Structure 1
Amino acid sequence: MRKNTRRLWIGLFSLVLCGMIFSGCSGSKSEVKVKVGEVTRSVFYAPEYVALSKGFFKEEGLDVELQTIPGGDKTMTALLSGAIDVALVGSETSIYVYQQGSDDPVINFGQVTQTDGTFLMARNGEGKVDWNQVKGSTFLGQRKGGMPQMAGEFTLRKHDIDPQKDLKLIQNIDFANIASAYLSGTGDYVQLFEPQASIFEKEGKGHVVASFGEESGHLPYTVFMSKQSYIKKNSDTVQKFTNALQKAQNWVQQHSPAEIADAILPYFKDADKDIIVSSVQRYKDQGTYATDPIVDDAEWNNLLDVMSQAGELKEKVQAKAIVDNSFAEKAKSSVK
């Protein structure tokens, strides 16, 4: 009788112990899903892909579902409609929403890139561009009101070129088709992101002759943002998301272009590794990747100047109206 009782207690203890172990191993909490929409797939967004490939989002308990939605207008539409939770897109889109008097403004909370990411490619010529030769040319630009186009126009004006009068500016080609339009023979010059610029150089289709990132200075060019209502309801998730971004930014700063290329190659399956390395190198050399997620006042004011010159700014929007640096500041101070 005593033996049977003893066996019973040992059995019950074993069941409880196994249950405790199983509970600990399975994780006390399930991951929170976050739907993210990026405006394009580009080496320009290397920290985002590093956060995914290195598991930084996972470490924060987030299950990030990434999709590419070409064009800032389309990405913002997806965010406003609730199709995505977070957008990686130019800060100008949040200003456009604010200018329309939205009851639920879009808030910038995590900067990824701090310069323009496009390069001027010339069909003929190499070395540094002679801006005088750009006058009278056919220039294949970007979408009106988008950051690439506004930064491009800002640069052209800096070199005494009126984009509306001094050249034939083509802006009626959809963002996703600009590269193929250039490839088919449209334009003497084109504004391209990496890795497309490096690919065309390797194929002998043209030469990069200028960097709009270097020309237009520091801007909150591409930022993670979400609707104010989402941030208020999910502040813990937004903080974890920003922590993961800071981890990725630290990692990018500490590693070589070749190491970064290895980390992000899964997101560029058909790309040549050498092309990815050279693209990352270009962006690192010009300080494109932000070292932390904070949008500072100098960058914001430069953005307003660029938009104002492009005629896209109805009023000067103070950063405090649609920028929340609290998550970025906390991530910068706590993530090592």
Structure 2
Amino acid sequence: MVGGLNKQIYLPFMLAQQLGYYKDQGLNIALSDEPAGVDATTNMLAGKVDGVGGFYDHTIDLQGLGQSAESVVSMLVTPGEVELCRNDLENQIKSPADWKGRNLGITDLGSSTDFLTQYLAQKNGVDPTTINRIGVQAGATLIGAMTHKNVDCAMTTEPTVSQLLANKQAYILLDMRSDAGATQALGGEYPATSLYMTTSYIKNNPQTVQKLVNAYVKTLKWIQEHTAAQIADMMPADYYAGVGKDAYVAALNSEKGIYNPTGIMPPNGPPTNLKVLSAFNKNIIGKMIDLSRTYTDQFVENAT
């Protein structure tokens, strides 16, 4: 289950299918779409899905709750998230320091966009309890929330970002589509999209996990070796229907650097994720978190 299959930050999951890499590994994969990663995680814990395409930070959050899950392949080295605000507020909101009392769009409560929004408020001197976090998912629902002024700002990804900018509905407040932007906003490298599974599933199904990781490592390599236009040609047409193929390709071309070329977890990344969550997350504050139990590089290192 993927927290938004048509988002560019989760592109490797569908691309692997389009390239035939699941089939090559002898896998029968059912990809299901869930607008928010937090709901995908809930389904995983309930045993309804075997793995989640979501942000790595959920495995840290889960450990704080006494649950054990691990990322088995890292797909994004930066979050790829952008904080957009409505154009009519450009003179009022110049940074997250201006967020007190504001309505802020996130995919859903407990999602990674929720985590990042609370951290950015706290970092900029605004108590997260003084902002109104509203789940608006992405795409049409988020754009609708902006149009009807239900939210003042919102955190989202491509292709929704390009659509709002093209419609001249929003301006960029913070851009985490590059290493520099993510480091400026979050204080360091922040690995994001991964495939994570419960530790028990990984232990009981190592061959299946290895085949999955083989497919994703090949997909990440394919991304590096092909242009944004060639990648877009492989994706289902409805993935870029809203924004248009040319804008989809342009957005993908500008943020191609977000994809992890190897699948190995960036060694400096997990401490940044923990630092961010430790600033506000009650599941983490005061807990001893063992980061070595939140991800494994074993399967990527053995990928063929």
**Please, what TM-score do these two structures have when normalized by structure 2?**
0.84
Question: How many aligned positions are there?
Answer: 287
CA change 1:96–1:151 in 2 (3 A) is closer
Aligned to 2:55: 90
Contact 2:118/2:128, CA 8 A, preserved across alignment: no
CA change 1:321–1:164 in 2 (3 A) is closer
What aligned pairs does 1:122-137 form with structure 2 within 5 A after superposition?
122-124=85-87, 130-131=94-95, 134=98
1:51 aligns with 2:51: no
Contact 1:115/1:221, CA 8 A, preserved across alignment: yes
Q: Deviations over 1:47-95 (max 9, x none)?
A: 2222111111221111221011222221111111221111111223222
Shift of 1:299: 0.5
Q: Deviations over 1:159-185 (max 9, x none)?
A: x342538xx622133535444212211
Aligned to 2:246: 274
Contact 1:114/1:218, CA 8 A, preserved across alignment: yes
1:303 aligns with 2:273: yes
Contact 1:109/1:327, CA 8 A, preserved across alignment: yes
Counterpart residue type for residue 277 of structure 1? V
1:232 aligns with 2:207: no
Aligned to 1:291: 261
Give the number of the structure whose residues are more often helix, by fraction: 1
CA change 1:172–1:130 in 2 (3 A) is closer
1:187 aligns with 2:151: yes
* Higher Cα Rg, which structure: 1
Q: Deviations over 1:170-217 (max 9, x none)?
A: 213353544421221123322222111111112221233430342324
1:120 aligns with 2:83: yes
Q: Distance in 1 between matches of 2:33 and 2:259?
A: 20
SS in 2 for 1:171: strand
Q: Distance in 2 between matches of 1:274 and 1:209?
A: 24
CA change 1:293–1:119 in 2 (3 A) is same
SS in 2 for 1:121: strand
Q: Distance in 1 between matches of 2:270 and 2:115?
A: 14
Q: Distance in 2 between matches of 1:230 and 1:132?
A: 40
Contact 1:297/1:319, CA 8 A, preserved across alignment: no
Counterpart residue type for residue 300 of structure 2? A
SS in 2 for 1:162: coil
Q: CA RMSD for the aligned pairs?
A: 2.5
Percent of aligned pairs with the same residue? 23
Aligned to 1:222: 193
Aligned to 2:37: 72
Aligned to 1:201: 165
Shift of 1:301: 0.4
Aligned to 2:111: 146
Q: Distance in 2 between matches of 1:88 and 1:45?
A: 7
Shift of 1:145: 4.1
Shift of 1:144: 4.5
Q: Distance in 2 between matches of 1:163 and 1:119?
A: 21
